[in-house]
Chain A
Amino acid sequence: MTARIGVVTFPGTLDDRDALRAARLAGAEPVSLWHRDKDLKQVDAVVLAGGFSYGDYLRAGAISRFSPVMESIIEQAKAGMPVLGICNGFQILTEAHLLPGAMLRNNHLHFICRDQKLRVENAETAWTSDYVQGQEIEVPLKNMDGRYVADERTLDELEAEGRVAFRYLDMNPNGSLRDIAGITNAAGNVVGLMPHPEHAVEPLVGTGKTDGLGFFTSILKKLVNA
């Protein structure tokens, strides 16, 4: 018994194969989804992977949000289907208003690629239940537009409701407000973050750590036990 995890390929998506591999390594059945296709192929959960969908034209994620596949994903996510947005995927989720806030260009104006320490602030979402509250993990970070911003009221709400899912540790790599690296919706099924857990699932490649695998084992356990 396993679960089907879909990974969307938009034109310009880069980390789709990595996300499919991560799902497979966690024991799930990886399924490729195509941006022009409304059909979600009966997947149980969806990952929106990193990259530069539609060339980041207009704004990162702004065009992808209107693609046929997103119509189905938005509808399903509102009905409770787990969705994880990584990097460009996070940007798409905010553009789709499934998560609040927005991402601006890094405060230092450079692309940054580094091994980034994070603290798991909410270990009760669909994608983080295999971590413990307050656990420190290290996963790659790589982006140009990664500075998370929202108005003060929204930030206060996120904090009050425990919806800040991840915070940057040691250094804030892009000027994100309140060191926020990732957030969740109120129901805990939609999670978005800028760092890349799918690049930290094998001891040999990437950072040499497997701290990111927990995202995929969390969702698998939840789906299989459901």
Chain B
Amino acid sequence: MSLDTVKHASETPDSEQPWKELGLKEDEYARIREILGRRPTGAELAMYSVMWSEHCSYKSSKVHLKQFGEKVPENDAMLVGIGENAGVVDVGQGYAVTFKVESHNHPSYIEPYQGAATGVGGIVRDILAMGARPVAVVDPLRFGAADHPDTKRVLPGVVAGIGGYGNCLGLPNIGGEVVFDSCYQGNPLVNAGCIGVMKHEDIHLAKASGPGNKVILYGARTGGDGIGGVSVLASETFDDTKPTKRPAVQVGDPFQEKLLIECTLEIFKEKLVAGIQDLGGAGLSCATSELASAGSGGMRVDLEKVHLRDATLSPEEILMSESQERMCAIVEPEHVDRFLEICEKWDVIAVVIGEVTDGERLEIFWHGEQIVDVPPRSVAHEGPTYHRPFARPEWQDALQADDAGKLPRPQDGAELKDQVLKLVSSPNQASKSWITDQYDRFVQGNTVLAQPEDAGMVRIDEETNLGVAMATDGNGRYAKLDPYTGAQLALAEAYRNVAASGAKPLAISDCLNFGSPEDPAVMWQFAEATRGLADGCLQLGTPVTGGNVSLYNQTGETAIHPTPVVAVLGVIDDVNRRTPIAFAEEGQLLYLLGDTREEFGGSAWSEVIHQHLGGMPPAVDLDREKLLGEILISASRDGMIDAAHDLSDGGLVQAVVESCLRGGNGARLVVPEGLDAFTFLFSESAGRAVVAVPRSEELRFTDMCGARGLPATRIGVVDGDAVDVQGEFTLSLAELREAHEATIPALLA
């Protein structure tokens, strides 16, 4: 096959091109021709097709995402905002933290192990590219029904992939979620988050400036894996009639990534780079065009210099390859030798593939012949924008009218007891330790809290005990009932979880998982959820630092529940003051904070007992969440509470059972006046937490709650080896433990 050079393209304007197969629409192809004033070369077409894909260009979502940049709360912690590889937040003492959550949903369904593994690898490189040392990872996961045969294929593969990759990188896995729902059967959600730490002066940005500076590609060799991954995989709906797309999934090598991390950190330490970008989705096409676009614009690349795993790759394939464990750095000429020396020390291959020019074009050559000549902005930042039609689905009213409050409730203590056991042993409410025990939570020696705690927490300074915490939450059932409220509930829960651990919430990242944007009902869900999240962040004072959108999570006409997943990052001045969930001391008093209402729409109870989804989700009161957060943080700082657990899915009884099992102590509970036992135990009203208060601190604690106007109700005491609800039922810890811990291994081991 002859080389399709720029010259050749100009001379053959009417050649047929495979724009359709590459996922481009007809008008998009026409626009590329208009930008270039000629037909694109094969290499140019490859670059535009991947960069203008939904996954890279956010073409359907960006008209809604821009709210995150418009509704920005007053917050002086933000150092770098949306648009870079990841946002950066000031956590004090000269430290900055960068964090982000991304999706690797589609690849993980096709090839669970590699899909999940490379999801971890990609997010870790994003964090690294900001100049930070990655310090922890989290993994919010959603699968089909726990007892579906295909879940047994997907889940163990995903979990082994996350473990196999993350464990080899030496990053503690400190949190996340595992949720089962048949809506995710053909579309599991594999989201991956990472936290990185640096000093303020070490922040690195992805831009190529300074003509004469060298472009260095370093890391793994480029191979044929993941070609077209973004365009073909992430931007199209699965369909049984099409062949499997396994070759488009990338294959990861965590050992190479570990070397890349250590090598890059040493390069940062010696201040050898002017700009840096990781190679993820869209590979070199993305890295070169984004670096050039964010810099002064000009770059020349000699593509034949790229170190290859497969010598037969065409230039188009090299540009599109998503081979893992690669980075691209912009280096001043006088630093190049030292840069290469450090790479050699870590056995990392590094090659100068080009340089920054004083022009405004990205020019790529193949053995001296020019195959790309484009304005980089048009590739990286000026992709198409769609104003997709959206409309509230006609079934939404009927769904909301199907009130879960009308479902039959337990009539006596025996029935309550039976339903509590069913709840805590249901796959969604059961212990996930069979899964999380496959992840290393100890490495680096700074893990203060890890799953099943409310938030993961790591120490970032051994001298001062400064730490950061993160929680990720999402509830697709709530969001299905009302996407605006559902998104705010995800935000509120993650915020509450961070506060319950004693850390102050600072900022958020999100991973927005939805169905096809070509369906107006899905687009309405997306529009409502982003609006809810942006409004919520404004009210809570926690800016969105960046995130990720995953669309086309649907099989045929059936979309997943709208699933916005929110990661909240918090800071704690002294990790010694963290609050665990365990009821560790007998005799301590249990207080329920917040208001409990009859709210069962989308609840775990309605799912487990009645297989029901309908009504309205719990009401959101973000001012109340803020107040609850402040009380939890103050109480932790001043030593007024020894345990705290947020109340969310499963309600109070779920939280109490988890805290009892974690601490190895029982609890005696009394149903407060004005509440019936069922509502007390199973309601999922938001803005609540249960805390264990040492008797010596009771007065101080209740005075504080009273003065601040937060309802605090004494509901019992830590005592014995059973959970006893006075006048209703008693369940021994042994029975609860068996129910809570046996479910997942029985289904999956």
Contacts and interface: CB of A to CB of B under 8 A. Distances in A.
A212 B340 CA distance: 40
Given A18-B443, A142-B167, A198-B445, A205 B437 contact: no
- Interface magnitude class on chain B: 20 to 34
A111 B168 CA distance: 11
B575 interface: yes
Given A113-B439, A113-B440, A205-B459, A52 B445 contact: no
B163 A111 contact: yes
Contacts of B447: 205-206
Interface string A7-27: 000011011011001100000
A55 B442 contact: no
A110 B442 contact: no
B259 A12 contact: yes
A79 interface: no
Interface residues on A, range: 20 to 34
B444 interface: yes
B386 interface: no
Contacts of B446: 205
Interface string B362-395: 0000000000000000000000000000000000
Given A17-B445, A111-B167, A204-B459, A11 B346 contact: yes
Given A11-B346, A12-B255, A14-B170, A113 B445 contact: no
B126 to A, nearest CB: 21
A189 B114 CA distance: 42
B668 to A, nearest CB: 26
Contact of A110 (B255, B438, B465): B438
A97 to B, nearest CB: 25
Interface in B250-282: 253-256, 258-259
B448 A204 contact: yes
B576 A204 contact: yes
Given A110-B160, A113-B437, A113-B438, A15 B170 contact: yes
Contacts of B688: none
Secondary structure at the A interface, as helix, strand, loop or mixed, is loop
Contacts of A21: 445, 462
Given A11-B346, A205-B459, A113 B255 contact: no
B714 interface: no
Contacts of A52: 167-168, 254-255, 258
A115 to B, nearest CB: 9
B295 interface: no
A207 B442 CA distance: 8
B347 A11 contact: yes
Contact of A15 (B169, B258, B441, B443): B443
Contacts of A205: 445-448, 459
Contact of A18 (B258, B444, B465): B444
Contacts of A144: 167
A114 B437 contact: yes
Looking at A18, A51, A110, A205, the one whose CB has the most chain B CB atoms below 10 A away is A205
Nearest to B446: A205
Interface in B541-584: 575-576
Contacts of A114: 437
B164 interface: yes
Nearest to A55: B255
B407 to A, nearest CB: 39
A214 interface: no
Interface string B124-146: 00000000000000000000000
Nearest to A114: B437
Interface in B429-462: 436-448, 459, 462
Nearest to B435: A110
A163 B533 CA distance: 61
Nearest to A202: B445
B597 to A, nearest CB: 37
Most chain B C-beta atoms within 10 Å of own C-beta, residue among A202, A204, A207 = A204
Chain B CB within 10 Å, residue with most, of A50, A113, A140, A201: A113
Contacts of B448: 204-205
Contacts of B459: 204-205
Interface string A179-221: 0000000000000000010110110111100000000000000
Nearest to B159: A110
Interface string A48-71: 001110111100000000000000
Nearest to B749: A108
B223 to A, nearest CB: 17
A142 B347 CA distance: 27
A111 B559 CA distance: 34
Nearest to A200: B442
A112 interface: yes
B168 A204 contact: no
A204 B448 CA distance: 6
Contacts of B256: 55
13 contacts: A11-B258, A12-B168, A14-B168, A22-B445, A50-B443, A52-B254, A55-B253, A56-B168, A108-B749, A113-B442, A114-B437, A199-B443, A206-B447
Given A113-B437, A205-B459, 7 more contacts: A14-B168, A14-B258, A17-B444, A56-B255, A110-B160, A111-B160, A207-B442
Rank and list the top 10 A-B pairs by shortest CB-CB distance, nearest first. Answer: A55-B255, A14-B170, A18-B445, A199-B442, A140-B442, A111-B163, A52-B168, A111-B438, A142-B440, A206-B442
